[in-house]
Chains A and B, each alone.
With several copies, the nearest count.
Chain A
Amino acid sequence: MAVKSLSENETAPDDDTRRTLLRHMLVARGVDEEARRLQKQGVLDLWPSCEGHEAAQVGSALAAGPAATVVPSYREHAVALLRGVTPEELLAQWTGRTFCGWDPHRVRFFPYTMVLAAQTLHAVGYAIGRRMQGLEDFVVVYVGDGATSEGDMSEAMNLAAVESASVLFVVQNNGWAISKPAEEQMRTSVAERARGFGIASAAVPGRDPETVFAACSRAAAHIRGERAPFLVEIRVGRINGHTTADAQEVYRSSDDIARTKAADPVTGYADRLRGQGLVDAAWFAAVETEVREIRERLTKEYA
């Protein structure tokens, strides 16, 4: 159950990857902003924002690689976009058109699951099923801190451990399940809990996509090498309310909200790469153009 020790070099992203990380984060942010705007206009019925989760999502998804099958919860918009779900497809279900706007097979990104933690058992079952068919798929399943309290999550961890399933559990611990703080949801951490079931795990901060990328790369190497599960718990900040229907000011201190905003992973990483000279004004302008076009397309499609 020991983690294969890979040196930093083996898992640290190269410069191209770093730019890719930032670009995906910026695009996700742009889509999220547009979605929230459209929701305010009544075009979307609801939107669970992923602002604050971008580093965790982009870092983990890029580390997992394009061959992995992703079983999301309902907030993994940055993962969805990175996997090739178009922004239009992503928003479709929140406008009330469909339960799933994309082709899950084409992008190997499954439909969102609204019933918390139910997808964790699907992910493990899928991994077992693929292995039985001689196709050792690598499966990534996303779950929130609150959802880990559901029996299904524990059952999925036990099943994955017993079957030694090739599943990467990514827990995005944003400190809240709607209004319930994560400290009141558990006494330890999900990473510790996983070890109790016999699943190797790591807990990492989720502000820096490179840290996440490195941790998830190591996890992926472990899963591929040992053909055994791994759980990465990523601490992130939830910048907005649980969804657009949630007024987080009711239960969350303005200090806490301000601190979370100040620790924005997107601006933080943008500043860092800019400071390191990895990206310049022209690069940002290109991404901005891309985002503007996306936003225009979304408005055209839905507004």
Chain B
Amino acid sequence: MTGTVRSPCLAESINTALADLLDQDPRLVLIGEDIGRLGGVFRVTRGLRERFGADRVRDALLAESTIVGQAVGMAMSGLVPVCEIQFDGFTYPAVNQLVTQAARVGGRWNGRISPSLVVRIPTAGGFRGVEHHNDSNEALFARVPGISVACPSTGEDADQILRYAVALGSPVVVYEPIRLYWRRSSPPRSAEPARSPTAARVVRRGTDLTVATYGAITDEVLEAAHDLAPDVDVEVVDLRWVAPLDMDTVLESVGRTGRLLVVHEATKDVGIGAEIAASVAEYGHDALRGPVRRLAPDRRAYPPGDFEKDYMIGVREIRDEVLVMTK
């Protein structure tokens, strides 16, 4: 079907990036459930407590509002907290502190402080996780003014995003796809770098249709694109950030291909795909050769493991959708 390349996996890149950052900046502190002794339930932070001490790699109390709420206070005190929420589905107790506090501190202080605060959230499904362990909630924060939301799909991007996030001066939520943490081979990508730390990346050049996507499913999109070549030449844009959205890169791509499909793993309604489709329908209208389409699960809960295959968008659905749009 498609060749794959081997590279350091997401978990390793994040571990290395965090270690570097802890090394370089004494203000950096990690806070999360089980991130210290255990090294995190996904072992992303392993070895960091041993290396940097329990004070800087803090096994948090089991309370997400506490994690983010104390991080807000720490950020005000001059530290740079990098929090971990154990699974995307357990973000909700922290939503109040993130949305009504972290996101607004800078404004409330009239810009007198601009605290950096990062929240890392393992996300998405595909591993037969039990209830609440497979959520994709990036749209939740993408709509909130004052919060930036990143969705890296490679270790290299995660590294760049983290380094940018700890210095941004406002909260950043980073969604890390669980099924990529330890995946070692993925479809090849074009080597073009992103134009800026928050820019999208054209990970495959093509002429017939643009797929805008992000997160773990980028791999499936790339696989579908490889499968379809040379009959259909698909361009793939990995957004990397969903707030702010790099609509310039998307619009330029659509300007070249004339067609846009948005693919994401989160449910479709009022999601990131809606925002992209709406923007392109408005600002890219003249370039479009047909309607923008979205491919994403319907508005229903992520099902028990036995049914996740029906729920998730796979390579085949992506291929079929591209074929329908280009036929």
**Chain A residues proximal to chain B, CB less than 8 Å:** 45-46, 93-100, 103-105, 110-111, 113-116, 118, 120-130, 132-133, 137, 146-147, 149-152, 155-156, 158-159, 162, 177-180, 184-185, 245-246, 250-251
Contacts and interface: CB of A to CB of B under 8 A. Distances in A.
Interface residues of B, number: 55
A158 B62 CA distance: 11
Given A99-B108, A114-B133, A115-B89, 4 more contacts: A115-B101, A121-B70, A129-B75, A158-B63
A100 B108 CA distance: 6
A121 B305 CA distance: 28
B130 A45 contact: yes
4 nearest A-B pairs in the assembled complex, by CB-CB distance = A125-B73, A96-B305, A121-B69, A129-B77
B183 interface: no
Contacts of B33: 177-178, 180
A150 B62 contact: yes
A301 B218 CA distance: 37
A39 B109 CA distance: 24
A253 B222 CA distance: 45
A121 B73 CA distance: 7
A65 to B, nearest CB: 19
B73 A133 contact: no
A155 B38 contact: no
Interface string B59-89: 1011111100111111111110000000001
A147 B128 CA distance: 24
Contact of B112 (A93, A103, A147): A103
A110 to B, nearest CB: 8
A185 B61 contact: yes
Interface stretch (B8-16, B90-98, B137-145, B146-154): B90-98
Contact of B130 (A94, A158, A184, A251): A94
B34 A129 contact: no
A68 B79 CA distance: 19
A113 to B, nearest CB: 8
B63 A126 contact: no
B66 A159 contact: yes
Contact of A100 (B62, B75, B110): B110
Nearest to A97: B306
Interface of B: 27, 29, 33-34, 36-39, 41, 55-56, 59, 61-66, 69-79, 89-90, 92-93, 96-97, 100-101, 104, 107-110, 112-113, 128-133, 304-308
B309 to A, nearest CB: 11
9 contacts: A93-B304, A95-B306, A115-B100, A124-B70, A126-B74, A129-B77, A152-B93, A152-B96, A155-B66
Contacts of A99: 104, 107-108, 110, 131, 304
A152 B128 contact: no
B59 A184 contact: yes
B306 A185 contact: no
Contact of B304 (A97, A128, A130): A97
Nearest to A162: B61
Residue among B70, B71, B112 with max Cβ neighbours from chain A (10 Å): B70
Given A96-B306, A114-B131, A150-B63, A121 B100 contact: no
Given A115-B96, A152-B69, A251-B37, A129 B62 contact: no
A132 B97 contact: no
A37 B71 CA distance: 40
Contacts of A115: 89-90, 92, 96, 100-101, 132
A132 B109 contact: no
Contacts of B304: 93, 96-99
A111 B111 CA distance: 12
A127 B62 CA distance: 19
A151 to B, nearest CB: 6
A118 B101 contact: yes
A179 B305 contact: no
B97 A178 contact: no
Contact of A133 (B69, B79, B133): B79
Residue among A98, A146, A147 with max Cβ neighbours from chain B (10 Å): A98
Given A96-B128, A152-B69, A250 B74 contact: no
B41 A245 contact: yes
Nearest to A148: B62
Nearest to B63: A149
A116 B62 contact: yes
A250 B62 contact: no
Contacts of A156: 66, 69
Nearest to A110: B76
A251 B41 CA distance: 12
Contact of A149 (B34, B61, B75, B131): B61
